[in-house]
Amino acid sequence: MKKERVVVKIGSSSLTNQQGSLSREKLKQYADEIIRLRQAGNEVILISSGAVAAGFYDLGYPSRPVTTAGKQAAAAVGQSQLMQAYNEEFSRVNIACGQLLLTRENFANHSQYQNAHSTITELLHRQVLPIINENDSIAVDELTFGDNDMLSALVAGLVHADTLLILTDINGIYDKNPYEDPEAKKYHFIPSITNDLMEQAGESSSSVGTGGMRSKLKAAGTAIRLGTRVFVGRLGSGHRLEDVLSGKGDGTYIGVPGGDVVNNKKQWIGLHSVIAGAVVVDEGAAKALLRSGKSLLPAGIVEVQGHFSAGNVVDVYDQKDQLLGRGQVNMSAKELQAVKGKSSAEAASFTLTSKSEVIHRDNWITTVRER
Ligand SMILES: Nc1ncnc2c1ncn2[C@@H]1O[C@H](COP(=O)(O)OP(=O)(O)O)[C@@H](O)[C@H]1O
Ligand SMILES: N[C@@H](CCC(=O)OP(=O)(O)O)C(=O)O
């Protein structure tokens, strides 16, 4: 079988017992499966939830805390316990673990984003198992990944994973929440994420899960757009992750193997960068960007919004207010005000840059998703 680069995401609901705290037995089951997957020659990156679950009891809470401060403190206690548990399991077979705790801000900063990529690549190169979680203890409410489903999709994109396995407490995606409607029907394969599907997906029914199926679908949509196929499902006892990889998993497969990979610069522009302003373009420029794969030139700009600098990322709209995509500009908003609508030859004398494009096609991406 082909060796794959696989991102495995394990949700809190799959790692906890009935009281909502960490289950060592369950954690061991996943660790054993990851060991098998690696022994079969696959590269694995683990995104593990469970820090809050692992920590709340020692912190003195009777159940999972609901306040931000409570969750952040529980994660501080639980993250080290989670890593200790993984270290104990993986060290039995001499697999070293490397921990990365990430925040949205790390991804928004281009050099930190590149560093995260280099670190994960080096860990894989040295056969170390990267174990990633959100840095819950310091993440600011408005600036989180939302949940680890989205974090796992973004990491899958970052490392150009072949497959993302989102392992959860239910055996796939249904047309309704099966805990609320016993008539719900399961999807075995979903080619792409539609609005109808998003509407059918509900919140989590468990007391420990964060985003429910909705967040898994959103994450899956991002992953397949970045070239990674996705599986959402359960790892029952005796089930093998290798079987899941070969299409025999108890769950739902989303997208197909071998999707078009989006390079990291474009991913960063499309998904992580801070949007500093916007430009509105005419029909010809929209066509050049969307259909001909060309760069954006001053002649196509009709309006400039905001106060951005050269090197910033801006949203690009058509004149019907439709978001077309985003790109990194070679000129400041001030320069663009001066050159908009002008031919490149005319524009040259108004700008500080030697570049004739407003946005080079290498620094442009059509909309991945609204932010
Ligand atoms: N359409 C649906 N199909 C399947 N599960 C759904 C659906 N809508 C809501 N859910 C809920 O989503 C839950 C899984 O999400 P969650 O509890 O956040 O898991 P995790 O902790 O693994 O991230 C399921 O247990 C189920 O209660
Ligand atoms: N980062 C948190 C989990 C956040 C999260 O998304 O949880 P889940 O929906 O169970 O995957 C933790 O480690 O407790």
pLDDT tens per residue across span 300-331: 999 999 999 999 999 999 999 999 999 999 99
What is the number of the ligand closest to the CA of 233? 1
The answer to whether residue 71 sits within a structural domain is yes
Q: What is the DSSP string of 137-182?
A: TT--GGGS-SSHHHHHHHHHHHTT-SEEEEE-SSSSEESS-TTT-T
Closest CA to 172 of 191, 155, 158, 189: 189
User: Which CATH number belongs to the domain containing residue 345 in this structure?
Assistant: 2.30.130.10
Structural domain ending residue among the three candidates 210, 243, 263? 263
Q: Which domain holds residue 337?
A: 274-366
Rounded Cα gap, residues 266 and 368, in angstroms: 10
Q: How far is the CA of 186 from the centre of ligand 2 (A)?
A: 24
Between β-strands 189-190 and 250-254, what pairing exists: parallel, antiparallel or unpaired? parallel
When pLDDT is cut at 50, 70 and 90, the band that residue 111 belongs to is: very high
Ligand 2 atom showing the smallest separation from residue 204 Cα: 9
Ligand 1 atom showing the smallest separation from residue 211 Cα: 18
Whether 49 has a binding-site annotation, put simply, is: yes
> 284 and 224 in one domain?
no
> 362 and 247 in one domain?
no
pLDDT at 2 over 80: no
> 151 and 75 in one domain?
yes
The predicted-structure confidence for 225-278, as pLDDT tens digits, reads as follows: 999 999 999 998 889 999 999 999 999 999 998 889 999 999 999 999 999 999
* Over residues 73-102, mean pLDDT: 97
> 345 and 232 in one domain?
no
Structural domain ending residue among the three candidates 213, 242, 263? 263
Q: Is the CB of 133 under 6 A from ligand 2?
A: yes
The pTM assigned to this predicted structure is 0.94
> 204 and 295 in one domain?
no
Structural domain ending residue among the three candidates 263, 288, 309? 263
The answer to whether residue 209 sits within a structural domain is yes
Strand partners, 21: none
When pLDDT is cut at 50, 70 and 90, the band that residue 368 belongs to is: low
> 309 and 234 in one domain?
no
> 234 and 119 in one domain?
yes
Tokens of 286: 């929209």
Whether 172 has a binding-site annotation, put simply, is: no
Furthest C-alpha separation in the chain: 70
**How many domains, the chain?**
2
Q: Is the CB of 134 under 6 A from ligand 2?
A: yes
> 71 and 151 in one domain?
yes
The answer to whether residue 268 sits within a structural domain is no
When pLDDT is cut at 50, 70 and 90, the band that residue 209 belongs to is: low
> 199 and 139 in one domain?
yes
> 44 and 192 in one domain?
yes
Rounded Cα gap, residues 318 and 55, in angstroms: 49
The answer to whether residue 269 sits within a structural domain is no
User: Which CATH number belongs to the domain containing residue 89 in this structure?
Assistant: 3.40.1160.10
Structure-token match 């790109």, residue found: 327
pLDDT computed for residue 352 by the predictor:
74
> 17 and 125 in one domain?
yes
pLDDT computed for residue 145 by the predictor:
81
What is the pLDDT of the chain when averaged over all its residues?
93
Closest CA to 47 of 61, 22, 30: 30
Closest CA to 212 of 201, 220, 203: 203
> 214 and 362 in one domain?
no
